[in-house]
Amino acid sequence: MSSVETVLESFRSDPHFRNNITFWHTIPAQSAVFGHWPEAFSDKIREVLAQRGIQRLYSHQAESIEHALKGENVIVVTPTASGKTMCYNLPVLHHLSTVNAEARALYLFPTKALSQDQLLELHDLSSGLGQDLKVHTFDGDTPQSARRSIRNSGHIVVTNPDMLHTGILPHHTLWIRLFENLKFVVIDEVHHYRGVFGSHMANLMRRLRRICRFYGSDPQFICCSATIANPKELAEKLIGRLFTLVDENGAPRGEKHFLFYNPPVVNQELGIRKSVINEAGRIATSFLLKEVQTIVFGRSRLRVEILSTYLKRAMSRNKKDPDRIRAYRGGYLPNERRDIEEGTRTGRYLGVVSTNALELGIDIGRLKAAVLAGYPGTIASTWQQGGRAGRSQEASVIVLVASSAPLDQFIIQHPRYFFATTPECGLINPDNLAIMVSHLKCGAFELPLNEGEHFGEGEVDGILRYLEEERVLRHSGEKWFWSSAAYPAEEISLRSASSENFVIINTSDNNNVLGEVDLHSAPMLIHEQAIYLHQSRQFVIDKLDWDGRTAYAREVDVDYYTDSVEESDIKVLTADMSDSIETEQGDHVACAYRYFGEVAVSTIVPKYKKIRFETHENVGFGNIHLPQLDKQTEAYWMEISEELLAKLAVSEIDMGGGLHALATAICNVVPVFVLCDPRDICAAPMVRAPFSGLPTIYLYDVYPGGIGIARRIYDIDQQIFAAADELIRGCSCRNGCPSCVGPALEIGDRGKESALILLKKLK
């Protein structure tokens, strides 16, 4: 019996542990499925791979390479550790070594660490081929002295979207060799490019392809993604090209156990459970004491440091070496991170506790167990983190330990949403007006825009005329020229929809810039006395200079975070889609009406709540005094019909509390179906909405112009209603708690019950 199986057997025989397991799923071992070597491949490439122990290609590798060699754009979707890097490295190296030695490739990775990891593999393969291929990273850490050489001679340039946005495209005249000969663009971790970031990325790709056309090149794209519901659709929206999907995994795997563990309830009324940190630490210790190499994922830097401390103490108590446990997170020096990666890969370190920094495909060896301290937020990220264990064909285990948060509780108690075909869609809106205008400015700076030129699917002359009125463009000779002294790319963050951002100054660190927040998020995130979280560090906002668009933050260590309370006035501008939800008796009587359209939202943020970490208790309030903000965005809304109101006795339901509770529950489960942060969607329940005079719940995208979430809700609202119903019914609280519909103090004693009555009518 292996060490992993020994620990699992002890779990099975422990009633305390077994009683808290909500699901134990065993994924059987799978043998490798191999494909044929592409006929075009040279013997030299096969020899180099054979020297590295690769005698044959897995089926998905062979299939994707064949498509790539035909010039097709390919999106590869297979699990972690299935060898996806070969799907793009081999076509690129084949082309450079046998077809055109002057060709160029651009690799885009979301993190520097992943870029460095890929660089080592590329160097290894290219040196084995005996080719003088120049492979370089180009990011903010690249010395100025090396940049000219990279621009002139780099066959493969490894970078990230932010550097492409600010450091390469605006200076394309310095990159002529790259753009004239660009054959491949590789984009890894495509599922990360969603929402606002993905919408920016799509516009960045429009700019890239536009510059390529100017220099006479037309690169093909090879993309990789974790498992999501719509990888082909997302890739095609990001790039604006047709893609071939490869998603049948041929890589082998050993038997994998996936355990859902829900800590026991310690406060029935508030729905509070035992600490996720303590429980995750206890479970990880069980593996470590049996010499099972283990990775533990924490949701924040603070959790990571606490967990690693607990594990070191546990090792010491059991006469084991505590130095074999290491923490890994942002903020460590590069040499320290490389040491941890290498030590984990070789087995020198038995346990590593990490933030999601090690979620991506960095090679850290053959771990046997992964313990996730809290649901990572998406099914894709959960598989990415869990997939760090079991990279060989031996038995492995993943343990997901839930917190008291609503999304954690829903997933842990409803495993079919997790193990069935993933319901999560990556959504982007490349034509979001605010985002597209920002990139049109950048595009005009890079190259003049022609009259009638398309940027995406449609002409943009109307927008260009507006920009001329704003005096940033000049029209002359059927072209639009950049005429401002500003450098537009530097003013545009790829992480926010608005170009009018607030700068956050860290007064604890020589007044260095800590980060940026867009205009419409500022009242919620950086009001005075807000706790601003940056890379899981806590900062209190001491001062907000609204007119100067500057917030001043100071690092603190507190046991709570802040959540602002919005009051929104919503005006319907257009109802683009509408339908009725009929009564369960099927007598064609509408119990509700549903809509999708554009709305104008006027928002004030009058106060904020202090929410304790882990327990989500409300531990205080504070007032906020900031201006009203107005925006137009997309919304889904659902109205309770007059017919249903007539059937509901006044004594049967608390409409105000029920709507509030239902809106909260729906917001809590939307991320199960959409790859988004819970803050990306906002709910506004109204007992008497101005638009119709009926009880209404509005769900709108928080970003001006919308990013597609509300539209997706309209398509699958019945699935979302069913999930909300299961979340509420599955919670053991009596009248409401932070794990389902919100505290009873906010929704009233009958809010939870009333929400269930409404849901019964709506489903």
Write the DSSP string, 335-348: HHHHHHHHHHHHTS
Instruction: Centre a 10 Å sphere on the Cβ of residue 620 and count the other Cβ atoms it contains.
Output: 12
Cβ atoms of 621 and 608 within 8 Å: the answer is: yes
Q: Which pLDDT score, from 0 to 100, does residue 342 have?
A: 87
Q: Which pLDDT score, from 0 to 100, does residue 1 have?
A: 58
How large is the average pLDDT for residues 703-731?
A: 94
Q: Which pLDDT score, from 0 to 100, does residue 126 have?
A: 80
How large is the average pLDDT for residues 166-186?
A: 96
Collapsed DSSP state (helix, strand, coil) of residue 222? strand
Cβ atoms of 396 and 259 within 8 Å: the answer is: no
Q: Which pLDDT score, from 0 to 100, does residue 497 have?
A: 67
pLDDT mean across residues, the chain: 89
Tokens of 698: 């509005």
How large is the average pLDDT for residues 629-653?
A: 86
Domains of the chain (ranges; CATH) run: 3-28+253-419 (3.40.50.300), 34-246 (3.40.50.300), 447-491 (no CATH), 501-556 (no CATH), 560-762 (no CATH)
For residue range 338-367, what is the model confidence (pLDDT) as tens digits?
Answer: 888 889 888 999 999 998 877 766 667 678
Tokens of 471: 């005096």
Instruction: Name which residue leads in pLDDT, 491 or 218.
Output: 218
> Using CA atoms, how far apart are residues 59 and 65, in angstroms rounded to an integer?
10
Query: Which residues, 6+ apart, have CB-to-CB distance to 208 below 8 Å?
Result: 164, 169, 185
In the predicted model, is pLDDT for residue 527 greater than 80? yes
> Using CA atoms, how far apart are residues 513 and 525, in angstroms rounded to an integer?
16
φ, ψ for residue 374 (rounded to 5)? 105, 145
For residue range 453-502, what is the model confidence (pLDDT) as tens digits?
Answer: 999 888 899 999 999 998 999 999 899 999 988 889 988 888 776 667 78
Q: Which pLDDT score, from 0 to 100, does residue 141 have?
A: 74
Cβ atoms of 26 and 52 within 8 Å: the answer is: no
How large is the average pLDDT for residues 704-723?
A: 94
Q: Which pLDDT score, from 0 to 100, does residue 739 have?
A: 86
Which is it for the CA torsion 357, 430, 685, 529, positive or negative? positive
Q: Which pLDDT score, from 0 to 100, does residue 705 have?
A: 92
CA torsion, points 682, 686, 691, 695, in degrees to nearest 10? Answer: 120
Collapsed DSSP state (helix, strand, coil) of residue 648? coil
Tokens of 433: 């007006």
Query: Which residues, 6+ apart, have CB-to-CB distance to 14 below 8 Å?
Result: none
Q: With bands split at pLDDT 50, 70 and 90, how would you rate the model's confidence at 588? A: low
Cβ atoms of 131 and 211 within 8 Å: the answer is: no
> Using CA atoms, how far apart are residues 759 and 84, in angstroms rounded to an integer?
43
